Amino acid sequence: MQNKSIAQLAADLRLRTYSSVELTKHYLERIARLDPRLNSFVTVAADSALVAAERADQMLKSGEAGPLTGIPIAHKDIFCTQGIKTSCGSRMLDNFVAPYDATVVEKLAAAGAVVLGKTNMDEFAMGSSNETSFYGPVKNPWDETKVPGGSSGGSAAAVAARLCAVATGTDTGGSIRQPAALCGITGIKPTYGRCSRWGMIAFASSLDQAGVMARSAADAAFLLDEMAGFDSRDSTSANVPVPDYVDALDDGIKGLKIGLPKEYFGDGLDSRVAAVIQDAIKEYERLGAEIVEISLPNSPLSVPVYYVVAPAECSSNLARFDGVRYGHRCENPEDLEDLYKRSRAEGFGAEVQRRIMIGAYVLSAGYYDAYYLKAQKIRHLIADDFKRAFEQVDVIMGPTSPTTAFPIGDKMDDPVSMYLNDIYTIATNLAGLPGMSIPVAPVDGMPVGLQIIGNYFDEARLLNVAHQFQHATHWHQAAPAGFE
């Protein structure tokens, strides 16, 4: 059952080949047996999952079911879930049970999806390896000595290991696409504002975007169909009509213009990764696409710009965690200042503290113009590069990540080398554009992701372009040994 697509599962559920309760129990059994090796779940919500599965079976019986009714999913632990702990990977929120559901959670529940649990992640979504989680690192199911990527590493590992049919993730600088690449799955970060941020714990509000981690573009389309859309509770939610993503999957791609930015194929890219990315692009040519060389001249500035903008926004967003209203509170504070200081020092890990300090620094009176304002100006130049590129091409392709998954512990003492993991993904967030990662041929048995970047609100085309590749190839079907 765990290898079936959402379309197949939905068809089986409708025919009563098995019930949603049986399917849910199957996944819960896999999680209990296999997840101790991976640590991809922070919380398994077996009881509420079975209640939801029973409700889904009722919906299936009474003919009110949609394609997601009864399908077992997992949420990244950054989405607030009423009655189930929402930790955001942090000691700060280890005791936090949200009094409401995030919009994305609410919409998927209304569609009848069954939530198996909450997945592990880098603390407050800050990281590229899942090693900053308070709950310990997640292991990559393709090689348990390696990282799954981050920050949505728990969702990526869980989907790759077939511990859920599909999962949610969030992407501020690459956190859906990079772990999707490192775990050999399909991830889509929609246009900024496409999916509601309401109830999604904020990291860098002008960059954060919810999306999907799935085994195929077709599976991702089913989820995005339900998740996307305007939400009046999120002031940056886009009021743009949502097309039917599943409908668009089968469109032809003959004549598709693919831009290859020369900056994405330069120094720093592993040559074996480059070779399998080039092979994937040749496959697109065979499918009728046309290749155009392009340039995104400001893209080398995206990592430094991001590490000013994202910490600035995080230092403001994380000010709410003060030990007073909710979250971790230190023991026996002497006075209010001591309460703030010790609650935050104990509740936040090293990477989060580093970002808060950088953020407070770049926003401070003497440095605001030199760092924050300058970064915002360069952010515009980066977005303009893409604007020019999309006058010539339909989509942009390149590697998602410069290397395959690296060993756990390898980069934890070197934040800059960790930050460089996102060199190809961050510009997309700075511009607010949608991006995807799909698996191509592996290197030394480890997955590699092809990144596909689209114009604003062009998710249907991204999913279509990804689906056509997956229709012609089999890379997305590979399962890690021991998790088939």
Catalytic residue among 90, 152, 175, 343: 175
How many angstroms separate the CA atoms of 246 and 281, rounded?
24
- Give me the least distance between CB of 151 and ligand GLN, in Å please: 4
- Give me the least distance between CB of 36 and ligand GLN, in Å please: 26
Return the number of the residue (70 or 127) whose C-beta is nearest ligand GLN. Answer: 127
Return the number of the residue (43 or 172) whose C-beta is nearest ligand GLN. Answer: 172
Nearest Cα neighbor of 167 from 178, 156, 179, 175 is 156
How many angstroms separate the CA atoms of 283 and 261, rounded?
18
Return the number of the residue (2 or 178) whose C-beta is nearest ligand GLN. Answer: 178
Return the number of the residue (67 or 173) whose C-beta is nearest ligand GLN. Answer: 173
Residue 435 phi, psi (nearest 5): -145, 155
- Give me the least distance between CB of 396 and ligand GLN, in Å please: 19
| Beta-ladder partners of 452 | 397, 436
H helices of 364-425, in order, are 374-392, 415-419
- Give me the least distance between CB of 429 and ligand GLN, in Å please: 7
Catalytic residue among 19, 20, 76, 129: 76
How many angstroms separate the CA atoms of 166 and 195, rounded?
17
Q: Is residue 137 within 8 Å of residue 92, measured between CB atoms?
A: no
Residue 317 vs residues 124, 212, 330, 339, 483: alpha-carbon distances, Å: 11, 24, 20, 19, 38
**Contacting residues toward ligand GLN, per CB under 6 A:** 125-128, 151, 171-175, 203, 310, 422
The answer to whether residue 146 is catalytic is: no
Quick one: residue 184, left, alpha or beta (phi over 0 = left, psi -120 to 50 = alpha)? left
Return the number of the residue (122 or 234) whose C-beta is nearest ligand GLN. Answer: 122
CA 22 to the chain's CA centroid: 28
The answer to whether residue 151 is catalytic is: yes
Burial 3-23 (b: 16+ CB within 10 A, else e): ebbbeebbebbeeeeebbbeb
- Give me the least distance between CB of 177 and ligand GLN, in Å please: 9
Catalytic residue among 151, 152, 299, 437: 151
- Give me the least distance between CB of 208 and ligand GLN, in Å please: 7
The answer to whether residue 205 is catalytic is: no
Nearest Cα neighbor of 264 from 255, 273, 253, 251 is 273
Return the number of the residue (249 or 310) whose C-beta is nearest ligand GLN. Answer: 310
Active centre residues (catalytic) = 76, 151, 175
